[in-house]
Amino acid sequence: EFVKMKVKQKTKKTKKTQKKKSTSKQSTVEVTDTEYYTVESVVGSKLEGREVWYSIKWENYRDRTWEPDYRLYCQKKLVAFAKTEVNTDKYALNLQENLENLNESCAENWNSFKNVYDPLAIVGQSTVLGGSVKFVNLDTVGSKILFLNYIHQHNQHHVLHSLKFPKFKILDTSFEEYRKQLNYLSRAFDEYPHVSMHFPPQACTTFYSPPPLTSLLFEPITEEMLDNRDTFPYHLPPKSDKITFNNVKVLVDTAFIESDVRAQEEFEGMQRKHYGMNSRFGNSLEIRQEEGVGWKLTVGHAVDADSPLMMLTGVIRHRSVALESLRSEGEEVAFSSFIEIPGTDYCLDRREFYDFSKYIPHSCNPTCSIRLVESGNEIPDLVLYSRVRIQDSNPKTISLDYFGGFVEDVDKYFARKKAPDGRVFKLYDERIDFVHCHCSNECRGVLYIDKSNHPKEEKATKKDKLSTLDSNFDFGGMRLVESDKIWKIRNRQFIE
Ligand SMILES: [Zn+2]
Q: Over 274-309, what HEC string results? A: CCHHHCCCCCCEEEEEECCCEEEEEECCCECCCCEE
Task: Report CA(489)–ligand 1 centroid distance (Å).
Answer: 31
Residue type, 13: K
490 bridge partner residues: 493
| 478, 338 contact by CB (below 8 A) | yes
**Dihedral angle sign, alpha carbons of residues 223, 225, 226, 231:** positive
Residues 281 and 264: their CA atoms lie apart, in Å, by 21
Task: Report CA(213)–ligand 1 centroid distance (Å).
Answer: 31
- The pLDDT of 319-338, averaged and rounded, is 96
Whether 424 is in a domain gets the answer: yes
Residues 38 and 55: their CA atoms lie apart, in Å, by 14
Total domain count, the chain: 1
Burial class (CB in 10 A: 0-12, 13-18, 19+), 368: buried
In percent, how much of the chain has pLDDT > 70?
86
Task: Report CA(134)–ligand 1 centroid distance (Å).
Answer: 10
340 bridge partner residues: 347
| 92, 246 contact by CB (below 8 A) | yes
Task: Report CA(224)–ligand 1 centroid distance (Å).
Answer: 38
Task: Report CA(445)–ligand 1 centroid distance (Å).
Answer: 5
Question: In the prediction, which pLDDT does 4 show?
Answer: 25
Cα 247 to chain centroid, rounded: 22
| 136, 435 contact by CB (below 8 A) | yes
Burial class (CB in 10 A: 0-12, 13-18, 19+), 132: buried
Task: Report CA(146)–ligand 1 centroid distance (Å).
Answer: 25
Task: Report CA(261)–ligand 1 centroid distance (Å).
Answer: 45
The tens digit of pLDDT for each residue in 227-265 reads 887 776 677 888 898 888 888 889 998 887 777 555 555
Task: Report CA(418)–ligand 1 centroid distance (Å).
Answer: 21
Task: Report CA(360)–ligand 1 centroid distance (Å).
Answer: 14
- The pLDDT of 29-45, averaged and rounded, is 73
Which of 3-12, 150-159, 170-179, 321-330 tops mean pLDDT? 321-330
Question: In the prediction, which pLDDT does 419 show?
Answer: 53
Question: In the prediction, which pLDDT does 28 show?
Answer: 38
Task: Report CA(130)–ligand 1 centroid distance (Å).
Answer: 13
Whether 439 is in a domain gets the answer: yes
**Dihedral angle sign, alpha carbons of residues 395, 163, 167, 239:** negative
Domain enclosing residue 437, as ranges: 410-454
Is pLDDT above 60 for 266?
no
Q: Please report, for residues 11, 30, 31, 291, 408, the alpha-carbon distance to residue 15 in angstroms, rounded to integers and kept in the order given.
A: 13, 7, 6, 30, 34
Task: Report CA(353)–ligand 1 centroid distance (Å).
Answer: 27
Task: Report CA(438)–ligand 1 centroid distance (Å).
Answer: 5
| 301, 388 contact by CB (below 8 A) | no
Helix, strand, coil percent content, the chain, rounded in steps of 5: 35, 25, 45
Question: In the prediction, which pLDDT does 25 show?
Answer: 35
Question: In the prediction, which pLDDT does 261 show?
Answer: 53
User: Strand 493-495 and strand 481-490: pairing?
Assistant: antiparallel
Task: Report CA(441)–ligand 1 centroid distance (Å).
Answer: 7
Q: What angle in degrees, to the nearest 10, is found between the helix axes of 118-125 and 140-153?
A: 70
Task: Report CA(367)–ligand 1 centroid distance (Å).
Answer: 13
CA atoms within 13 A on the CB side of 367: 24
Is pLDDT above 90 for 325?
yes
Flag the least confident range among 17-21, 120-124, 164-168.
17-21
Helix (H) or strand (E) holding 348: strand 346-349
Task: Report CA(440)–ligand 1 centroid distance (Å).
Answer: 6
Is pLDDT above 60 for 346?
yes
Helix (H) or strand (E) holding 133: strand 133-136
Whether 150 is in a domain gets the answer: no
State residue 197 phi and psi, 5-degree precision. -100, 135
Of 52, 59, 181, give the one whose Cα is nearest residue 113. 52
Task: Report CA(365)–ligand 1 centroid distance (Å).
Answer: 7
In percent, how much of the chain has pLDDT > 90?
47
Whether 427 is in a domain gets the answer: yes
Task: Report CA(144)–ligand 1 centroid distance (Å).
Answer: 23
Question: In the prediction, which pLDDT does 230 show?
Answer: 75
Is pLDDT above 60 for 169?
yes
Note the ipTM here: 1.00
Task: Report CA(368)–ligand 1 centroid distance (Å).
Answer: 14
Whether 19 is in a domain gets the answer: no
Whether 298 is in a domain gets the answer: no
- Mean residue pLDDT of the chain comes to 84
Whether 419 is in a domain gets the answer: yes
Task: Report CA(50)–ligand 1 centroid distance (Å).
Answer: 28
- The pLDDT of 111-125, averaged and rounded, is 88
456 vs 50, more confident: 50
Query: Per-residue confidence at 355, pLDDT binned at 50, 70, 90?
Result: very high
Whether 421 is in a domain gets the answer: yes
Question: In the prediction, which pLDDT does 66 show?
Answer: 95
Question: In the prediction, which pLDDT does 123 show?
Answer: 87
The tens digit of pLDDT for each residue in 457-471 reads 677 899 999 999 988
Residue type, 196: S
Task: Report CA(138)–ligand 1 centroid distance (Å).
Answer: 21
3 state SS of 140:
helix
- Ligand 1 (ion): residues with CB under 5 Å are 364, 437, 439, 443
The tens digit of pLDDT for each residue in 397-421 reads 899 999 999 999 999 998 887 655 6
Flag the least confident range among 157-166, 268-277, 485-494.
268-277
Question: In the prediction, which pLDDT does 421 show?
Answer: 60
